[in-house]
Amino acid sequence: MIALTLLMTFSAVSANAQNKDRRKSFKSWDNYEITTEKVGVDGTKFVKVWGFGKTVDAATMAAKENAVHACIFRGLPGSATAMSTPPICPNPNTLETHEDYFQTFFAAGGPYLAYVSMTTDGVPSGTDRRKVKGGYKVGIYVQVMYDNLKRKLEADGVARKLSSGF
Amino acid sequence: MKKSLLIAALLLACQFIGWSQAKKPTIMVVPADAFCERYGYVQKVNAMGETVSSPDYSRAMKENSDIRTLVAAMADFMAKNDFPIQSLEQELKRLQTEDAEMAMMTGRSGGEVEETPLERLRRNARADIILDLDYEIHRVGPQKQVSFNLQAIDAYSSKIISGNTGVSSAANVPMTSLLEECVLSFKDNFLSGLQHYFDDLFANGREISVTFLRYDNCPFYFDDDIVIDGEDYEFGEWVEEWFQDNTVEGRFTTGASSGNRLRFTQVRIPLYAQNRKGRDVAIDADDFVKPLVRELKKKLNVTVGSSPRGLGDVWITVGDK
């Protein structure tokens, strides 16, 4: 009986820890899905990105943030007709080194919004809008002004210019 | 007080380093040999009884509008990155004009401009980084699709800096649109590869090749023992020691080594050095070997010459210039 109680307690603790881990990874900024839809017009990237939030609007904003975040730190995966895109800042320490800069950049209504625009109007619907525990998960199609974003980060000294040093 | 002086000195040092910029490599888009063969842009030359075909870039650029579209699109994004590329077409035209002008040139007293066959041979279109471009058009039912292959090659080490291959979407649109889509597709990956190469250049120095050639009036062979500073050395061994002392972290590879020829590859040289006036200046392969040439002349009492073949390749001739 004691052994059974111990086993049950151990299982409960272990499951709780797993849930905590899952929640932690779910909340992590790197935990989002993004796919390149096709080659965008000059200087832009056309992607489908997912975001999570308590409301649909909050999830949409999070998705926009994720799209810009991916262009800067993660890069965009390739697809059948579009090559992958490398991150603007490939150095893994960039976020830590320029933490204050990115806090302001990604603040609510921050400068990042100038580099992303939704390609469709209205609220995401159908399979692109999912009710999940704690809010909504939405997928939106966005156009990221990749070249403009790169120029901005280069001008602000966050990314290195191709011609710097020459 | 001491601290502020130290900071001021550091800032001054930074400014000095900032003034001297590394020598910028030239970049040129060149149609790949395979592309020229496929579309018939080749010249047949009879070399010692054997027919050899070589790419006819001039014809390819004149007759193929697609390649011009690709070059224009690439030139555009490179210019936006403050790295304008050299135009192969214009460079070929310039050389033609230069040839005509040099043939007509005479001095006031009737003198002619001298040019050795080697100088004539070297006066051709060249770049430090070659963008070797190839593409093929495929038919997918009524639609067209373009597959492309772009390689950025270091002209001196023949190393591929950045390689990109891929296909465009299949569509029934003008070829120009598909070609532009290709360029937009590989653009960022290509730039990233180039950036990686430049980062390596700044961190570990420029990679160059140095070749020693022996003229027949040189009194010794490169594998002979000679006396330098009162000690017996094999010539090649002494040169290797010089490279060990003067390259970045002593990094170089001894390639071919024989009595008449020595070749050093993957020689990492600093991007800057001090000139005779003690000022920091950007250097290339020729500048790097100048002190070596001077030392050889002084220690061996032979004629030594250096002949640059671009930013990253130099020939040193011993026995004559």
Task: Report pLDDT digits (tens) over B283-310.
Answer: 889 999 999 999 999 988 899 999 988 8
**Are the beta carbons of B188 and A146 separated by less than 8 Å?**
yes
Mean pLDDT computed over A124-143:
89
Residues of B in contact with A83 (CB under 8 A): 164, 166, 185-186, 188-189
Reported ipTM: the value is 0.78
Q: The CATH number of B67-102+116-202 is which of 1.20.120, 1.20.59, 3.40.630, 3.40.50? A: 3.40.50
Residues of B in contact with A165 (CB under 8 A): 21-22, 198, 202, 271
H-state helical runs in B46-138: 57-63, 65-80, 88-104, 117-122
What residues does each domain of chain B span?
Answer: 67-102+116-202, 205-318
**Are the beta carbons of B81 and A90 separated by less than 8 Å?**
no
What residues does each domain of chain A span?
Answer: 1-29, 32-155
From chain B residues 11-40, the ones with a CB under 8 A of any chain A CB are 21-24
**CB proximity B169 to A under 8 Å:** yes
From chain A residues 33-72, the ones with a CB under 8 A of any chain B CB are 38-42
Which range has the worst mean pLDDT, A98-112, A142-156, B12-26? B12-26
Q: By CB neighbour count within 10 A (0-12 exposed, 13-18 middle, 19+ buried), where does B8 fall? A: exposed
Q: Measure Cα distances from A85 to A9, A39, B192 in Å.
A: 48, 10, 9
pLDDT in tens, B65-118: 989 889 998 999 999 888 899 998 898 889 888 888 888 888 888 888 887 776
Using CA atoms, how far apart are residues A88 and B150, in angstroms rounded to an integer? 21
Q: How many CB atoms lie within 10 A of CB B76?
A: 15
Residues of A in contact with B24 (CB under 8 A): 163, 166
**CB proximity A155 to B under 8 Å:** no
**Which pLDDT value is given to residue A4?**
60
Q: Is the pLDDT of residue A42 over 90?
A: no
**CB proximity A86 to B under 8 Å:** yes
Q: Are B138 and B38 in contact (CB under 8 A)?
A: no
Q: Tell me the pLDDT of chain B (321 aa) as tens digits.
A: 455 544 444 444 444 444 457 888 899 999 999 999 999 999 887 777 788 888 898 899 999 998 988 999 899 999 988 889 999 889 888 988 888 888 888 888 888 888 777 677 667 777 889 999 999 999 988 899 999 999 999 888 888 998 888 888 888 888 888 898 888 888 999 999 999 999 998 999 999 999 999 999 899 999 888 888 888 888 989 999 999 999 999 999 998 889 999 999 999 999 888 888 888 888 889 999 999 999 999 988 899 999 988 888 999 999 988
**CB proximity A91 to B under 8 Å:** no
Q: Decide which of A121 and B77 is more confident.
A: B77
Using CA atoms, how far apart are residues A146 and A85, in angstroms rounded to an integer? 10
Using CA atoms, how far apart are residues A69 and A8, in angstroms rounded to an integer? 42
Using CA atoms, how far apart are residues A49 and A141, in angstroms rounded to an integer? 6
**Are the beta carbons of B189 and A146 separated by less than 8 Å?**
no
**Which pLDDT value is given to residue B12?**
43
From chain B residues 243-272, the ones with a CB under 8 A of any chain A CB are 271
- Closest CA in chain A for residue B24: A166
The residue type found at A95 is L
Residues of B in contact with A160 (CB under 8 A): 195, 199
Chain-centroid distance of CA B308 in Å reads 10
Chain A contact probe: residue of B192, B200, B280 with most A CBs at under 10 A? B192
Q: Decide which of B299 and A123 is more confident.
A: B299
**Are the beta carbons of A162 and B83 separated by less than 8 Å?**
yes
| Distance to chain B for A63, nearest Cα, Å | 23
